Structure 1
Amino acid sequence: MKVLHVIPSIAPVHGGASRAILEMTKALQEQGVKAEIVTTNDNGSDLLDVPLQKCIEYEQVPVWFFPRFSPPIASVRGFVFSSQLTTWLWRHIAEYNIIHVYGMFSYVSTLAMAIARIKNIPYIIRPQGQLGEWALQQRTFKKQIYITLIQRANLNCSRAVHFTSEQEQEETSKLNFKSASFVLRNGLFTPPPIPEAGYKLRQLLKVPEDEPVILFLSRLHPKKGLDYLIPALGKVANRRFTFVVAGSGSPEYEDTIDTLLVSAGIRDRTYRAGFVSGEMKDLLLQGADLFALTSYSENFGIAVLEAMAAGKPVLATSGVALASVVKQYQLGYVAQLDVEAIAQFVQDFLNSPQQAKEMGDRARKLIAEQYTWERIATKMVEIYTDILIPK
C-alpha cells in the first residue's frame, strides 16, 4: 500500500497538526505502509530552509518539499500557492493508492482533492477543525463562498472525512455533506522522562522548589482563550503560583498578551518562554503542575495529550475536543469559557495538590493504554484497506 499525505505546511509554527502528520507517517511506515508527505516550504511569514523538489528524509519521514509563492501580501502567502507542487501532483498522484489530505482553506489541499477527483484516485480529507462552528464564524462570508463553489464537491467526492473528535464530527454534520466520516484521534510518541524535572524547571524559573507552576503551551492565537485564562489567574493572585506562557504568535498578539498580564496583575509572576521544542518543551510539560488550555475551539488539542502523557492534570474549556475525555476519566478540570469558572478551578487545583497528582497519574496511564501511535496507525491501515478493498 502506498499512501500520500498532502498538507500545506509541516512547519512547527502551525501547531500540533504539523507534528501529528509526521508521527502518523512514521507510525504507518512501521506498519509496513509506504507513506510519504508532500508539502511546501511554508513557515508562516518565513520559509523553511530545506531542499526542494526532491524526496528527503525529514525527521525520519520521507517528505517532498516544494517552494511556496511568497508575495508581500500576508493573506495571499497564507493561501500557500505552489506552481511546482501543482505540476508534481498532476504527474505523480496516480502512483499512490490513496491520498490523505489535510486542511480545507488552502491551495494545496484544494488542488490535491481536485486532481485526485480528475485522476479517479481515492482520497480522505482531514479538515483539522476548519469546518467546526467557531472556525466557520471567522471570515464567514469568504468561507461560505469557498465551500459552496469549490469544497462541497471535493468533500462529497471524498471516500471519507477524517475527524479527530466526536465534537468535530457532530459540528460538521450540520453542513450536510454526503461523504462518510470516521473519528480517529491523534496518538503520541512519549518522550523519555527527565530526572528531577520539577526541580530543574524551578531552577530555571528562579522560584522556590514548592512553587506551583501553571503552564500554557500552544500557538499564541486569539482562539486559544488567553483573554479568559489570564484574567482568571488574576483573580487568584493572592495565592502563590508561577504562570508559564510557551508559544509564539504575531507581534501584535504577543503585545496583547503582555497588556493582559499587566491588567491582571500577574506580569511579575509570568515567565514568557517563547516557542519551545525538544528538551525545553519536555522540561516544561514534565516539570509543571497544571496544564491549562482555555480555547474557544480546538478540534483536538495535541498539547493536552502531551501534558497528560507527562502525568499532568489538565484545565480545559468545553471548546477543547479532548475536554470530554478529561471529564469522563477525571483527568483534570473542565470549565465553561468564563473567567469566574476558570478561576474557581484554579483555586480547586491550588487547594488540592494531592487530588491533582492523582488526576495526572490517571492521565499518564490512559495515554499509555489508548493513545500510542502504534494503536492509531493500526486502525488507520484498517480504514485505508476498507476503502481500497470494500468488504
Structure 2
Amino acid sequence: MPTYLPALRYGGPIRSVHALCRALQGAGHDVTVFTTSVDGPSDSNVPLLQPVDVEGVKVTYFPSRVLRRLYWSPPMGRSLDRSVSTFDVVHLHAVFLWPIWAAARAARARGVPYVVSPRGMLVPELIRAKSRLVKSAWLSLIERRNIERAAAIHTTSAVEASHLASFGWALPPVVTIPHGVDDPPALTGEPLSADVARAIAGPPPVLALGRISWEKGLDRLIAALPAAPDARVIVAGGDAGGQAAALEQQARDLGVAERVTILARHVDGADKEALFAASRLFAMTSLSENFGLAAFEAMRRGLPVLATPTVGMAEIVREVGAGCVVDPAAPSIAACLNALLADPDKARLMGRAGQAHVIEHYSWVGVARRMGELYDRVRATTAGRDGRP
C-alpha cells in the first residue's frame, strides 16, 4: 500500500477526523477512510481508487467530477455498495453532503450500524441564515432519515447536542465525546513566512485563528476595538466568500485599521506556532461553534481564551477559569480585552488553568478509547436486533 503525506490546507473537522482515525488505529482498531480528492476548486494530487497509507491510516480517495459542492462521486457509491458489509461500524462525519447519504443508505441496506457526527452543521440559526430553502429541503428529504435511523449520534459538546434536540426528531442515543487536542509539534527551525514575521513584530496581539467566514463573528471582535485601545488583533485563516475584505473595510470605518492584521490564508507549521507564541490571548466570537478546536489548541499552549456563549467550549472556559465568556456585544468583548491585557499575571494564571485541563482531559488516546466504547455498544445493540455476529 503506497504511503501518502498530504499537505492539509484545511483545519477543523478534516484535521480532527484524521487525528481520531490515527488514535483509533493506534488503539488496535482497523480503520478505513473513504473520501474524495476535492481540494477547493482543484483536486489533491493523490492516487485514486486505491488505499494509500496516510500516517498509518488506510485512506481511499475517489474522484468528484460534477456536483463538487456536494462531493458527488459515483465510484465511491459503487465501492460502498460492494464493501460496506465488511465493516463492523460505519462512522459518518458531517451532513448535507452526498457521501454521507450514500454511506448511510448502503449501511442500512446491509444491516450495518452507523454513527453520525454532524460536526457543527446542524445549527438552526446558521441554516436559516444561509441556503435556508435548500438545506431545509435536504433535511426533510434526506438528512432526517439518515439521523433518525442511525445507531447513535455523536456530538462534541453540550451546545451541539442542544442544537440537535431542537429539531424535534426521533433521535437515537446521543453521545457527547469531545475532540482531542494535539500536543504542540516539536520545533524544527523552519523559517517564518514574511507576513507572519511582520504581524508578530509589534506588541503581543489578540489572536483569532480559523476560517475567515461570516459565522465566525470576527466582525464582533473588530467592533470592540474602539473601546479597547490597547488591543491589537491578528486574524488568520482561509478566506471564505471574501469576508477578509469586509473585515478590513470595517476596521477602516471604525478607525482601527492600524491595529488589525488579517492573514487571509491557511496558516500552519512554524507560522501557526509563532502566532500562538506571540499572542497574549485567543478570541473566538463565533455566532455558533459546536466545539471550537482552535481555542482548545490555544489553551493547550497556555493562552487564555475570550469566547462567546454560543461557542461549544465556552462552558469549559467558564468552568475551569481559562479566560472569560462574554456577551457578543462590543462593550462586553472590549471589557474582557481590557481586563486581560491590563493584568498579564491574571491572564497567565488563566492560561495555565486551561492548559492543565486540556492536557488532563483532551488527549486523543482518551478520546479514541471513548469512541471505541461507543462502537462496541453500537455493535452489541445491533447484533441483538439483526443477528449479525
1:184-221 Cα deviation digits (max 9, x unpaired): 0000120246599xxx999643635xx23110101111
Whether contact under 8 Å (1:300, 1:320) holds in the other structure is yes
Deviations 1:250-298 (A, max 9, x none): 3622211221221232322333333101221122123311101100000
> What residue in structure 2 maps to residue 5 of structure 1?
none
What's the CA shift for 1:341? 1.0
| Residue 328 of structure 2: aligned partner | 337
Letter in 2 for 1:207: A
Give the aligned partner of residue 177 of structure 1.
170
Aligned to 2:32: 36
Cα distance per residue 1:314-353 (max 9 Å; x no partner): 0111110000100111101111121111111111111111
Q: Does 1:217 align with 2:213?
A: no
Give the Cα separation in 1 of the matches to 2:27 and 2:118. 24
Q: Does 1:226 align with 2:218?
A: yes
User: C-alpha root-mean-square deviation of aligned residues, in Å?
Assistant: 2.4
**Counterpart-to-counterpart distance in 2, 1:235 and 1:272:** 20
Q: 1:119 aligns with which of 99, 110, 113?
A: 110
> Aligned partners of 1:202, 1:104: CA distance in 2, in Å?
34
Distance 1:46 1:259 in 2: 29
Q: State whether structure 2 residue 139 is matched by structure 1 residue 147.
A: yes
Find the partner of 1:47 among 34, 40, 43. Answer: 43
Q: Secondary structure at the match of 1:38?
A: strand
Contact 2:200–2:278 (Cα < 8 Å) also in 1: no
For the 8 Å contact 2:211–2:240, the answer to whether it is kept is: no
**In the alignment, what sits opposite 1:109?**
100
- Structure 2 residue runs of 5 or longer lacking an equivalent are 1-5, 385-389
SS in 2 for 1:78: helix
One-letter amino acid of the counterpart of residue 176, structure 2: V
Q: What's the CA shift for 1:11? A: 8.5
Segment of structure 1 superposing worse, 224-233 or 43-52: 43-52
Q: After TM superposition, where is structure 1 displaced by more than 3 Å over at least 4 residues in a row?
A: 10-15, 192-196, 200-208
Q: CA deviation at 1:116?
A: 0.7
- Counterparts in 2 of 1:1-391, with a 5 A limit? 12=8, 14-70=10-66, 76-137=67-128, 138-175=130-167, 176-192=169-185, 204-205=198-199, 207=201, 211-237=203-229, 239=230, 241-250=231-240, 252-273=242-263, 274-390=265-381
Report the alpha carbon displacement of residue 59 of structure 1 after superposing the two structures with TM.
3.8
For 1:258 and 1:341, locate their aligned partners in 2 and report how far apart those are by CA, in whole Å. 22
Give identity over the alignment, percent: 29
Q: CA deviation at 1:14?
A: 4.8
| TM-score for the superposition, normalised by structure 1 | 0.89
Is this contact kept in 1: 2:199–2:234, CA < 8 A? no
8 Å contact kept, 2:35–2:59: yes
Q: Distance in 2 between matches of 1:348 and 1:186?
A: 30
* CA distance in 2 between partners of 1:45 and 1:267 (Å): 31
Unaligned runs of 5+ in 1: 1-9, 71-75
- Report the number of matched residues: 372
| Residues 1:135 and 1:14: Cα distance change in structure 2 (over 3 Å) | farther
Q: Is this contact kept in 2: 1:291–1:312, CA < 8 A? A: yes
- Mapped to 1, the partners of 2:260 and 2:378 lie a distance apart of 50
